[in-house]
Amino acid sequence: MLWLANLIMTYRSRSLVKRLRPHLPATGLIADVGSGTGHNAEAIRRLNGIEVHEFDVADLHWVGPGPQIFDKCRLPAEDGSFESLLLLFVLQYPDSPSELLKECRRVSRGPTLVVQSTFRGTWGRTVLAVREFFWGRAALRLAVLTGLVHCAGHILKPRRFFTVSELHRLFDEAGFVVVNTIPAEWFGLCVSRDLFILQPRKR
């Protein structure tokens, strides 16, 4: 059971990193905020020249060294510490996604890459809610039961779901310019896993 879960997560992370690779710096230190199981960071570490620092509000890692814990309000890093920053399926969880984005803008001197599921219409929102339940709370409970993680008190319960236009407004509010939006549509389900390339707005 454990090997199968790890195999699925490894395949998923490698597929995601392949999508991110053209937008990552060639070398340097990047941040993975909301690093979760650690699989995405581990897949990026396999790319020559890139070092990854993980941050999360709870330690949910299966692989790798694990995250530096932060308090949801301020990342424990100096201004401009990172060449680039990743937010991968994170913005549905925090109390204030706008404040988290502002912190990401503060600590990164390069692009912020956001991958976030979006929906269109009632059907799309329903599909996304079901997906979040199985990949969030249900997956965490299974991981705790099988001993993969030891953070039983932390429940991955999404606080919101987004349309593309809602995310664009959120990025603007946090001081970002959207350089590019690259969708990955789930055919017929009105859900997409969109990649947003963000740059800080010039003052």
What are the extents of the domains in the chain? 2-200
Q: Which of 181, 183, 32, 197 is nearest to 112 (CA)?
A: 197
Cα 2 to Cα 38: distance, rounded to the nearest angstrom: 15
CATH fold group of domain 2-200: Rossmann fold (3.40.50)
Do 72 and 95 form a contact (C-beta atoms < 8 A)?
yes
Q: What is the pLDDT along the chain (203 residues), one digit of tens a residue?
A: 556 666 777 888 899 999 999 999 999 999 999 998 899 999 999 988 899 999 999 888 888 899 999 987 799 999 999 999 999 999 999 999 999 999 999 999 999 999 999 999 999 999 888 887 766 665 566 666 666 666 655 567 788 999 999 999 999 999 999 999 999 998 889 999 999 999 998 86
pTM across the whole model: 0.90
